[in-house]
Amino acid sequence: MKVKRSLRVLLPILGACTIFVGTAVASNSVGLFVNGKALSPKETKLDHSVNIQTGITKDMVEDWIRKQGNEKRDYYFDGLSFEEMNVDGDSEPEVLVRIDGGVHLGDFFIFDKQSNGSYKLIFEKPWHVESWNIENFRADGMNPLFNIVTRTGGTDADVRESHLMYMNDSGVWTEAWKGTLKDRSVFQGKYHVAMGSYQFNDDNGELFYWQTEMDASLEDNKQEGDSKTTMKIFNLQQGKFIEKK
């Protein structure tokens, strides 16, 4: 009887632990300790407020931007996040920073670590950056190749674009190609949308880009007329994808 009773007590505890662990894994939340002190959940959530390995903090990044930023205005630091990634293949990772200032507003920065340990601003654009990732593409002088997805727009307009970028041999952050992923607009009672996507041809380094356009009614969202799909092929020439004629 004592064994059964112990099991009845133990099983709910194990179940609660299982639920806790599952929740922690699903939310990418991990308990962290710095100098023997446990960080609070607010400090450990993945908002890039601190990099445990290098010690780079959000306050440090804000200070870099204040001192080196191109815009003579106040940046919206409440929307700041950052990540360390190696964009040029050397031994030191760079710091990619984005500021989310609203649906279509934001800023994007890249800081490069110098030999004296300081960080230098090497790229800045007034972009609302939704994401960045490394592409599975290899070409001499442009590894790694990053896909930077931005969002712009205004009244009755919303545009997502892909910027394929890399650090060239001269240390300049370079755009190899830009294409529309989604362009939605409203004009004269009609809803117009263009959807695009791209794919690399690994055999010869070409880039294929498809785009489909269509119109729809604002009242019932039903398509009006036929959709139109086009395809373009881009060749890699001197570090840029140039449309093939």
Each residue of 132-155: pLDDT tens digit? 999 988 888 888 999 999 999 988
End-to-end CA distance of the chain: 84
**Rounded-to-10 torsion of CA 48, 92, 52, 99:** -10
Q: How many CA atoms lie less than 13 Å away from 65 in the CB half-sphere?
A: 27
The 8-class DSSP code of residue 40 comes to P
Least confident interval from 8-12, 25-29, 182-186, 215-219: 25-29
pLDDT at 164: 97
More confident residue, 65 or 205: 65
Average pLDDT over residues 41-50: 43
Each residue of 75-105: pLDDT tens digit? 999 999 999 999 987 888 999 999 998 889 9
pTM over 0.85: no
The Cα 159–Cα 182 span in angstroms is: 6
Measure Cα distances from 142 to 12, 137, 170 in Å: 55, 9, 11
The rounded mean pLDDT for the chain is: 81
Average pLDDT over residues 200-204: 87
- H/E stretch holding 12 reads helix 2-26
Whether 2 shows a pLDDT value over 90: the answer reads: no
Given a contact cutoff of 8 angstroms between Cβ atoms, the answer to whether 231 and 207 are in contact is no
User: By C-alpha distance, which of 82, 144, 138 is closest to 107?
Assistant: 82
pLDDT at 27: 38
Given a contact cutoff of 8 angstroms between Cβ atoms, the answer to whether 45 and 58 are in contact is no
Percent with pLDDT over 70 in the chain: 78
Whether 42 shows a pLDDT value over 80: the answer reads: no
Domain ranges of the chain: 1-30, 40-243
- H/E stretch holding 156 reads none
